Amino acid sequence: MEIMFLETDLARVTVLLLGAGPDSRTARRLRAGGATVSVDVEAGQPPGVVVVVGDREPWAAALERITEVHGPLPVAVTDPERTGVTLVGGGPGADDLITTRGLSAVADADVILLDRLAPQGVAESQAPHAQIIRVGKWPGHHPVPQEQIQSILLNSAQEGRHVVRLKGGDPYVFGRGGEEVADCESWGVPVDVVPGITSSVAVPGAAGIPVTFRDVARTFTVASGHVPFTEAELRGFCALLETGATLVVLMGVATLPQLVSGLVRHGANATTPIAVVEKGFSADQRVHTSILETAVIDLAGAGSPAVTVIGPVAALAAEDRERVLGELTPHRAIAPRTLEPADPDPTPSTASTTTTETHPHMDTTPTQADGPLTGRTVAVTAHRRAEDQMGALQRKGATTIAAPALKLVPVDQDADVVTETRQMLAAHPDLMVVTTGYGFKRWWDVVEASGQADGVHAMLAAADIWVRGPKGRAAVRGIGLHDVGISPDETIGPLVDQILEAYDHDLTGAVIGWQENGYHDREQRARLVGAGAAVHTVVPHRWADADDAGMIPRVIRQVCAREIDAVTFTSAAGADAVLSTASEMGLEDQFVAAFTTPDGSSAGVGTHTVVAATVGPVTAAPLQVAGIPALVPQRFRMGAMINQLAEVLGSSETAG
C-alpha cells in the first residue's frame, strides 16, 4: 500500500526507516514532510513510527525486537522505490484533476520533467524532495527541445532514478507519449504510462459543451492545430461536420483563421456554431462563441492555451444556452412551475383595461416569462445584426422595437475605392491604421476584385500596421499579416497616443495609410498630420439612413415620454444620427433629460429614467458629449452590452 506521507504533518516525529538508506527517495520524502529519519534498528531513542519499504517479512525479527524494547509502535509498509520512467497525464491543468495513480507516481519521483500545461502545484506539493526541471513549450518558443527532454529523461533513468514526465492532458493525445515510450523501450529503460483526463473533452465540458450529444453528435474528432491544416484535412473535416460530428482542435489559436476560412471554402455551413474555451479550469477561463461565417473577427480576442469546438454542440456555450438546449432536446422533461391561484373573478375591470398601439416594427414575439428584462421595452437602433440583438433581448424577457438609425453600405462606386487604393500604393505608407475589421475586409474584397491584391499585400507587409481592436487584428491576420500594436481600450484616441509615443511624437516625412470606418474621425487624423505625417485615406463604406419606416422619431417621442425603458446603440454614427434627429425635432433637451435623474446621474434602482446601453466607449462618446450617461460594458461586445443592461434593469424595482 502506498503511503501519502505529505498529507500528514511529521514535524518532531522520529521515523525508523527499514529497507532503504538515509539518502533514499523515501528518506528524502519523509524529511520533506518534517520527520527526523533514522535507519539504526539498535538506536536507543524510541521512534514514533516505523516505515518499511518493500516486503515486510525480512524485517519481522527486527520489528519484534523493537516492540520488546519500546512497546507497540505503528508500522507503515510502502511499495519498493520505483526506477525507470513514468509518463503521467496531469489532466486539463487543475491540481485536483490528476488521478490518484498519477499523484502516487509524482510523489515517488527523483526527477520531474514538468510541462507548461501540467498541474504546476502538484509537483511542488507532492514532491518537494525531487529535482523539478521545467521543460514547458508555448507557441513559437521551445526553450528545451524535445530531443534534449528525451536525453534528460533517459540519462536520469539509467542512473537508477525514477523520472516522471508530468504532462497536461493525456500522454497519448498530442503529448508525444508514443515517441518517449519508444525511446525508453529501445534503450531498455522500464517505462509506465499513467492516463490523464484529456483537455479535448474536459475543457469543453468546463464551458458546458458535451462533445457528444444523443441524436445530435454521435462522433467527435480531435485534431492538432499547431500547424495549418492541409486541403485534404479541411475537406475531411467538412465531411464530418455534415454528419453533425464535433470537431475539437487543440493548440489551434494561431491557425484558427486558416481553419475557419478553409472550412467555409470547402463547403461547411457558414452558420455552424464554434466556441473557443480559453484557459480552461483556471480563474481566467473565458469562452468565446460565434459561427463560422464571422468567427475570424468574433474570436480574434481569444488567447492561448485554448480548445476550439466546432459543431452543433458548440452553441451550448452561447448566452442563449437554454434556447439551444430546447432545440437539441425537444423531448426533455421540464420541471413544473408553481402556478399562482386562479383569479376567482376573471372579468376584466374596465378601470384597468388599456389599449396598446402596435406597429410593424414592434416585436410581439412571446418573451421569456421570468427573464431579468421581463416587462421592459427596449429600442434597438442597430441595423447590422439587429435580429441577433433583438432575439437575445427577447430571450431575457424584453419587448423590442426595431428602430435602425443608420446602416453600413458600400460606397456608390468601387472605382472610388480603387482610385484611393492606387493613390495609397503610390505613396508607399510607412504606417497603416486599421479602424474596423468590417471596413478592412470590405476594402480587401474590392482590392481582390480589382486585381490589386498582390500590390496591397506587399504594401501592408512593409508597413507598421496599427489596429483599433481585435476585429481589425483578426481581419489583418486573415490575410496572413500581423500588426505592431493595438489600442488598449479599442478606441482611436489611445491608439493615436500609442503611435505618437512609438515615434517620439515626430512623424516628419512619414506617410500613413488610414482605413476609414464610415464615421470620419478628422480630429485624430489631424493629430498625426500635426506631428508631420501625410495621411492617405481609403473609405470602403459609408453610413446611410436606415430608418425607412420613420421609427426613429417615434422612438424619440417615446423616450421623452419615458414609455421606453432602454435604447441600445452599437455605433457612434448611429448615436449621432439619433441625437441629430432629436435636435431637428426640437426635442434634444427633453431627450437627454429622459436618460438622467434630477441629480444628473444615470438611471438606476427605483428611478424612472431611460437607460442608454452602448457596445463600447467609441459608441458612447457622442452620447456622453450630449450629456447622456451611457452604459459601457467591460468587454466591448454586443453580448456584454445586453448582459450589463439586464443587470441594471433587472435590479430596478419598477419598470420605467
Active site residues: 115, 137, 251
Q: What number of other Cβ atoms are within 10 A of residue 364's Cβ?
A: 10
Give backbone dihedrals phi and psi of 405, rounded to 5 degrees, phi first: -85, -50
Distance of alpha carbon 571 from alpha carbon 579, whole angstroms? 13
> For the chain, what is the total number of helices (H) and then of strands (E)?
23, 25
Q: CB pairs under 8 A, 24+ apart, for 94-100? A: 94/119, 94/281, 94/282, 95/119, 95/120, 95/121, 95/122, 95/125, 97/197, 97/202, 97/281, 98/122, 98/196, 99/194, 99/195, 99/196, 99/197
Distance of alpha carbon 354 from alpha carbon 59, whole angstroms? 94
Q: What number of other Cβ atoms are within 10 A of residue 395's Cβ?
A: 18
Distance of alpha carbon 172 from alpha carbon 487, whole angstroms? 41
Give backbone dihedrals phi and psi of 438, rounded to 5 degrees, phi first: -60, -45
Cα–Cα distances in angstroms (integers) from residue 53 to residues 16, 18, 58, 288, 525, in the given order: 11, 6, 11, 51, 76
Distance of alpha carbon 204 from alpha carbon 314, whole angstroms? 8
Question: Which one, of 259, 226, 279, lies nearest residue 92 by Cα?
Answer: 279
Distance of alpha carbon 615 from alpha carbon 471, whole angstroms? 14
